Structure 1
C-alpha cells in the first residue's frame, strides 16, 4: 500500500475524521474523499503528503477554521505540487491565507459554499489561479476588499459582485472582461476601483462620478469611448484618475479642476481635442 499513487473513496458513507495513518502513503498523488460524511477539522497531517497534486474533500461536513491548519508548517501550504484543491460544500469558517499564492502549481481552487462571513479581505489575484466563471461559484462572504487581478475572468463583470454591499476596494485588472460598465457598479460607492487592462467598452455612467467616496479609479487600456461628462468634477475626493489608452473623445471637461486632491491624472492615448 505504501506505493499507492491514487486513493479514490468518493461517494461512500465514510464518517468521522481523516485518519492520521494516511501520511504513510508517501507516493500519493491523488486523494479524493469527496461526497462522504467526514467531519472534524481539515487535519494538519494532510500536509505531509508532499507529492499530492489533487486533493478533493468536497461535500463533507468538515468544520471549524481552516486557517489553523493551513498556516501550520505541516499544512496544505506544504503541498507544493498541488494543482487542484476542492473544499466546497463543507461547514468551514474560512480565512483564505495570504500565502495561498505560494502553491505555484495550483490551477483549480474551489472554496465555494462554505461559511466565510468573517472574511474582510479576499485577494485571489496575481498568481496561477484561474477563476471558474461558473455562476455557482460565488463567495458568500461580505468582504471590504476584493482583488481578482489576472484571474482569467471573461465576459462581463460578474453580477454577483453587486451583492457585496460593503465593498470598498475592487481590483479586476488584467483579465479578459468585456461589455459595458454596469450601472450597478457605478452605484456601489466603491472607494478604489481598478478595471485596467481589459476589453471593456462603451461610455461611463454619469452616476459614477457622483460618489463622494471615490478616491481611485483606474480604467486604463480598455475600449471605453464617448465624452467625459461635465459631472466628472463632482468626485471631489478623487486622488487618482487613470483613463489612458482608451477611445474617449471630445473636450476635456473643465470640471476636473474641482478635484483639489487629485495627485495623478492620465488621459493619454485617447481622442481628446480642443484647448488644453
Structure 2
C-alpha cells in the first residue's frame, strides 16, 4: 500500500476525515478525492507526500487552514482545493513550489492578502481565487490590494480574483502578463483607472472589471478594441468610453474640428459616432420612402 503511486477515489460518496496516515503514502504522485463529503482539517502529514504532482480535494467539506507543509511537495504541479470551507490566509510558503502550474482555491472562506510569494511560481498558468473573503479587514501594515508582484507571473494564462473585497488599483505591472488570456477582477472594490498598457496584452480575450469603483476612460487600441462586451465593464459609475457607449469629456470634439493625425482615439470616436448617425439616417429614410410608396400605390387602387 505504501508503494501506491495513484489514488483516485473521486465521486465515491465518502465521508469522514483525512487521517494523518495519508502521509505514509510517500510514493504517491496523484491524489484525487474530489466530489465526496470529507470534512475536518487536512493533516500536516500530507506534506510527507514529496513525490506528489497532483492534489485534488475539491468539492468536499474540508475546513481550517491550508497546511503550510504543502511547501514540502517540491514536485507539486496542480493543487485544486476549491468548493470547500478553508479559512485563514493562503500560506506564504506556497511560493516555494517551483513546478506549480495550477492553483485553484475558489469558493472557500480564505482571508487576508494574496501572498506576494506567489510571484516565485514562474511556471504558474492558472490562478483562481474567486469567491473567497480576501478582505481589507486585516492587520495594520498588510495590504489587501492586488500585489504588484502578480505582474511577475510571465506564464500566467488565467487570473481570477473576482468576488472578493480587494481594493486599490489595477497594477501597471499587469501589462507584464504577456500570455494572459483571461483576467477577471470583477465584483470587488478596485478603484482608479484601467491602465492603458493592458491594450498591449496580445493574447487577452476576456477582461472583466465589472462591479467595481473604476473611473476614467476605458483604453482603446490594439487588444482593447476586441474586448467590447458591455457586461465586462458594467456597474462602474465613473467609467466612460466607446465600449460602454458613454463619451468621455476629453473626447468631445471642438467646433473647429481636430487636426488629422492628432489622436487615433478621437478618430475612433468619429468613426463610431458617424456609424450610428448613418444607421439612424438610413432608418428614417426607409420609413419616408415606404410612406411615399404607399401613397403612390393608392393611385392605382381598384375600387
Counterpart residue number, 1:89 = 131
Counterpart residue number, 1:230 = 255
Answer with 165-174 or 11-20: which moved more.
Answer: 165-174
Pair member with larger Rg: 2
**Equivalent residue of 2:55, what SS?**
strand
**Equivalent residue of 2:182, what SS?**
coil
Unaligned runs of 5+ in 1: 218-227, 234-239, 250-276
Query: Does 2:132 correspond to 1:111?
Result: no
Task: State the distance in 1 between where 2:100 and 2:54 align.
Answer: 9
1:23 shift after superposition: 1.5
Counterpart residue number, 1:265 = none
Q: Which of these residues, 100, 124, 144, is aligned with residue 52 of structure 1?
A: 100
- 1:192-236 deviation per Cα after TM superposition (whole angstroms, max 9, x unaligned): x7x8xxxx9xxx98x64xx3xx3xx6xxxxxxxxxx662758xxx
Normalised by the length of structure 2, the TM-score is: 0.54
Identify, as 1 or 2, the structure richer in strand: 1
1:166 shift after superposition: 5.3
Correspondences of 1:168-207 after superposition (within 5 Å): 168=216, 170-175=218-223, 177=225
* Closer, same or farther: CA 166–10 of 1 in aligned 2, 3 Å: closer
Q: Which of these residues, 80, 100, 112, is aligned with residue 150 of structure 2?
A: 100
Figure out how many residues of one structure are paired with residues of the other and give that number.
Answer: 202
* Closer, same or farther: CA 175–22 of 1 in aligned 2, 3 Å: same
Task: State the distance in 2 between where 1:138 and 1:99 align.
Answer: 19
1:171 shift after superposition: 2.9
* Closer, same or farther: CA 121–28 of 1 in aligned 2, 3 Å: closer
1:56 shift after superposition: 0.6
Identify, as 1 or 2, the structure richer in helix: 2
Unaligned runs of 5+ in 2: 1-48, 136-143, 272-303
Counterpart residue number, 2:120 = 78
Preserved CA contact (<8 Å) 1:84 1:107: yes
Root-mean-square deviation (CA), in Å? 4.0
Task: State the distance in 1 between where 2:185 and 2:215 align.
Answer: 18
* Closer, same or farther: CA 172–96 of 1 in aligned 2, 3 Å: farther
Q: Which of these residues, 172, 175, 189, is aligned with residue 125 of structure 1?
A: 175
